[in-house]
Chain A
Amino acid sequence: MSAALEFRAAIREAIIEEMERDESVVFFGEDVAAEQGGVFAVTPGVQERFGAERVFDTPISELALSGAAFGAAVGGLRPIIEIMFGDFMGLAMDSLVNQSSKYWYLSNEQRSVPLVVRSAVGGGGRFGAIHSQTHATWFQGVPGLKIVFPSSPAEAKGLLKGAIRDDNPVIFLEHKRLYSVKAPAPAAGEVLPLGKARIARAGKDVTIVSAGKGVPDALEAAEQLAVEGVDAEVIDLRTLRPVDLDTVLESVARTNRVLAVEEGPATGGWASGLLGRIAEHGLHDLDDVWLLATDELPIPYSPTLEDAFIPGAGAIATSVRERAGIAVG
């Protein structure tokens, strides 16, 4: 068994290893080079290691830093930037939606934009409505972008290494409630390809699909359900865009039931989009298909409201029981 690795350390290790491997990788954002390594203490010491030319703190200027990351990528660098909270991506949208994502196509494939945009996302931290969102949904309809949402330390490290090596703009989501999770480290040098899902738990009765924090939640729910005789399969999408539909369809062909769990509203979310595609391509395999998402409301602050708002392990297990008509003793 390999040594335990904390999620935030996994991110840091991936950045360091890729910066050591490739001189063109640079890293900048707000407070990322400071001694404490950002507000979530993810990248301490990285600047000391690589110097201020490659790792630096920027002004609080999301327009400038995301726009500059785009231009720098065209100019031959491979920037990793941190947009501190995913909610701040509203300010960085032009660079990603109008420039970075379209460059490969519009230029007639003269050049691509290798760029990684890291952000802390997700609720449960009592940060309120505008420091808790998961912005993956905002970018679902933007061809040319990849969206990665790791579920564990090992996944985070392998996927971030894959994202940095990818020649396309990648939005990389780090769930706040995963930063302190410790779990076995991946094999040395492991790089995970983007666009490939994994079966996190094999099962035969129902498929639960999620990403990020939703995966450990679904795994915990599956353990609860197993006690009651329901054998759930859990799929970790890893990449929300492009989505690995084949892995999901293969699972659904075996279980005939699929639940998608998204920490965000159903309307316009990745989960509702995925269910639509499952219905389009796997209708004859389906006995049931549904989703568990949040209310169509901003994320609340008060602990009682926020805890009830976010679909955690208990809510996932309850949803499966209700849908399957299992009475709870």
Chain B
Amino acid sequence: MTVDAAVDTEAPTAYLDRYGRMLLIRRFETEMQRLFLKGEVHGTTHLCAGQEAVPVGVCSALEPGDWLAGTYRGHGHALAKGTDPDALIAEMLGRATGVCGGRAGSMNVIDVEHGLVGCFGIVGGSIAAATGAALAAKREGRVAVAMFGDGATNQGYFHECMNFAKVFSLPAVFVCENNFYGEFTPMASVTAGQDIAARAGVFGIPASVVDGNDVWAVREAALEAVQRARSGGGPTLLECQTYRHYGHSKSDPAPYRPPDEVERWLARDPLTIARTRLLESGVAEAELAEVEDATRARMDRAVEAALAAPYPDPATDGATEFAS
């Protein structure tokens, strides 16, 4: 694969910023875990710790005005796309200051201002949403990205939309975060052929398997896919292989995963990979520490503000059924 010139000409601090964004997502998820146990986060929540390099790498290849549709494991999708951490944590806590005023919650975050079509609680819903956004984006030279898991590749949405997007040469990028488990079930045991990237071949859609824990690799693949989409070359499928550090949701300690498999993936933590590479490339330990301290402080402030924010008041919520 050729590396886009943009990779080489961008500011030297760009990957340090990406490391910071990945760290912000990790801190966010750590805080979510803690706040859930304290009873501040309600219902359920699906954490993406371990998968941060995928949305950060993908979003680094996008421009303002491009769209992204995420999943119910979508905190990282939103934060990578630019959603304000204060507004996102407040949404998780059901507060009036949330990005959706507390109406949406963890699984259904929408942030139109930052190009987040939404996070979709129906497996595969993001694929259709992004396909449609691509239909609109085509007029404006924009691109739309669908994030989805390995489980979604067995949904009708995946197959119908891959075909639809290719037939109309839509500026879409389909990004599968293959974390090898659909809820509690191993991907391999419910996926015929066991090869997600290969599924694009029958549609004539270019595809590649990407190390989803390496933000450099994700960005490189995403740049090529986005460039193809924007220049009229149609959709691309990226199978980004990664791993979730937590179980499927808050009710799942993931006992079904072999300990040696978990250890193997933890050793390939995307944050560790990024940190090591940054040090090797000459970034000083002090610079990394500065980013880490700033990120921690940023999340601490966001949590503090959200906890102090009011809940929406049913008496003054003023919801209207229809737009007029």
Which residues of A does B touch, CB under 8 Å? 26, 53, 56, 58-59, 61, 63-77, 79, 94-95, 98-99, 102-112, 143-144, 146, 167-168, 242
A61 close to B168 (CB less than 8 A): no
Between A and B, 11 residue pairs with Cβ closer than 8 Å are A64-B161, A67-B125, A70-B132, A71-B144, A72-B135, A106-B100, A106-B108, A108-B98, A110-B112, A110-B113, A143-B321
B128 close to A73 (CB less than 8 A): no
List of 9 A-B pairs having minimum Cβ-Cβ separation, nearest first: A71-B132, A67-B128, A75-B136, A112-B323, A64-B160, A68-B132, A108-B101, A61-B160, A107-B110
| Inter-chain contacts of B249 with A (CB < 8 A) | none
> Could you tell me the distance in whole angstroms from the C-beta of B135 to the nearest C-beta in chain A?
4
> Could you tell me the distance in whole angstroms from the C-beta of B278 to the nearest C-beta in chain A?
36
B133 close to A74 (CB less than 8 A): yes
Interface size range of chain B in the complex: 35 or more
A73 close to B132 (CB less than 8 A): yes
Residue in B closest to A167 when the chains form the complex, CB atoms: B323
B132 close to A69 (CB less than 8 A): yes
Select B163's contact among A64, A72, A242, beta carbons within 8 Å.
A64
The verdict on A77 contacting B136 (CB below 8 Å), with A67-B129, A106-B108 known, is yes
The verdict on A103 contacting B110 (CB below 8 Å), with A144-B321, A146-B322 known, is yes
Select B122's contact among A98, A106, A108, beta carbons within 8 Å.
A98
Select A64's contact among B113, B131, B139, beta carbons within 8 Å.
B131
Interface set, chain B 98-152, CB cutoff 8 A to A: 98-101, 103-104, 108, 110-113, 117-118, 120-122, 125, 127-137, 139, 144
> Could you tell me the distance in whole angstroms from the C-beta of A86 to the nearest C-beta in chain B?
19
| Inter-chain contacts of B324 with A (CB < 8 A) | 167
Residue in B closest to A144 when the chains form the complex, CB atoms: B321
B319 within 8 A of A: yes
CA distance A140 to B159 in the complex (A): 30
A64 close to B130 (CB less than 8 A): no
| Inter-chain contacts of A71 with B (CB < 8 A) | 69, 117, 128-136, 144
CA distance A316 to B108 in the complex (A): 46
Interface set, chain B 305-324, CB cutoff 8 A to A: 319-324
B130 close to A59 (CB less than 8 A): no
> Could you tell me the distance in whole angstroms from the C-beta of B60 to the nearest C-beta in chain A?
22
Interface set, chain B 65-94, CB cutoff 8 A to A: 67, 69
| Inter-chain contacts of A67 with B (CB < 8 A) | 125, 127-129, 131-132, 157, 160-161
| Inter-chain contacts of A111 with B (CB < 8 A) | 110, 112
| Inter-chain contacts of A77 with B (CB < 8 A) | 135-136
B180 within 8 A of A: no
The verdict on A63 contacting B160 (CB below 8 Å), with A107-B112, A109-B320 known, is yes
| Inter-chain contacts of B133 with A (CB < 8 A) | 71-72, 74-75
Select B110's contact among A56, A66, A72, A106, beta carbons within 8 Å.
A106
B266 within 8 A of A: no
Residue in B closest to A57 when the chains form the complex, CB atoms: B167
Which residues of B does A touch, CB under 8 Å? 67, 69, 98-101, 103-104, 108, 110-113, 117-118, 120-122, 125, 127-137, 139, 144, 156-157, 160-161, 163-164, 167-168, 319-324
The verdict on A75 contacting B321 (CB below 8 Å), with A65-B164, A99-B120, A106-B100 known, is no
| Inter-chain contacts of B168 with A (CB < 8 A) | 56
CA distance A77 to B138 in the complex (A): 11
B112 close to A74 (CB less than 8 A): yes
Select B322's contact among A56, A64, A144, beta carbons within 8 Å.
A144
| Inter-chain contacts of A168 with B (CB < 8 A) | 322-323
Select B137's contact among A75, A109, A146, A167, beta carbons within 8 Å.
A75
CA distance A146 to B125 in the complex (A): 22
CA distance A68 to B144 in the complex (A): 12
| Inter-chain contacts of A112 with B (CB < 8 A) | 322-323
A94 close to B163 (CB less than 8 A): no
A75 close to B67 (CB less than 8 A): yes
A74 close to B132 (CB less than 8 A): yes
> Could you tell me the distance in whole angstroms from the C-beta of A244 to the nearest C-beta in chain B?
14
| Inter-chain contacts of A103 with B (CB < 8 A) | 110, 118
The verdict on A72 contacting B101 (CB below 8 Å), with A59-B164, A61-B164 known, is no
| Inter-chain contacts of A106 with B (CB < 8 A) | 100, 103-104, 108, 110, 118
A108 close to B129 (CB less than 8 A): no
A74 close to B163 (CB less than 8 A): no
| Inter-chain contacts of B321 with A (CB < 8 A) | 105, 143-144, 242
| Inter-chain contacts of A74 with B (CB < 8 A) | 112, 117-118, 129, 132-133, 136
| Inter-chain contacts of B136 with A (CB < 8 A) | 71-72, 74-77
Residue in A closest to B67 when the chains form the complex, CB atoms: A75
| Inter-chain contacts of A146 with B (CB < 8 A) | 322
| Inter-chain contacts of B120 with A (CB < 8 A) | 99
> Could you tell me the distance in whole angstroms from the C-beta of A169 to the nearest C-beta in chain B?
10
| Inter-chain contacts of A98 with B (CB < 8 A) | 121-122, 125
| Inter-chain contacts of B69 with A (CB < 8 A) | 71
The verdict on A59 contacting B160 (CB below 8 Å), with A75-B135, A108-B100 known, is yes
CA distance A267 to B108 in the complex (A): 32
| Inter-chain contacts of A56 with B (CB < 8 A) | 168
| Inter-chain contacts of A63 with B (CB < 8 A) | 128, 156-157, 160-161
CA distance A98 to B108 in the complex (A): 10
Between B104, B121, B129, the greatest number of chain A beta carbons within 10 A of the residue's beta carbon is seen for: B129
Select B161's contact among A26, A68, A76, beta carbons within 8 Å.
A68
CA distance A70 to B99 in the complex (A): 21
B132 close to A72 (CB less than 8 A): yes
Residue in B closest to A62 when the chains form the complex, CB atoms: B160
CA distance A79 to B137 in the complex (A): 14
> Could you tell me the distance in whole angstroms from the C-beta of A74 to the nearest C-beta in chain B?
5
Between B99, B104, B133, the greatest number of chain A beta carbons within 10 A of the residue's beta carbon is seen for: B133
Between A58, A64, A98, A109, the greatest number of chain B beta carbons within 10 A of the residue's beta carbon is seen for: A64
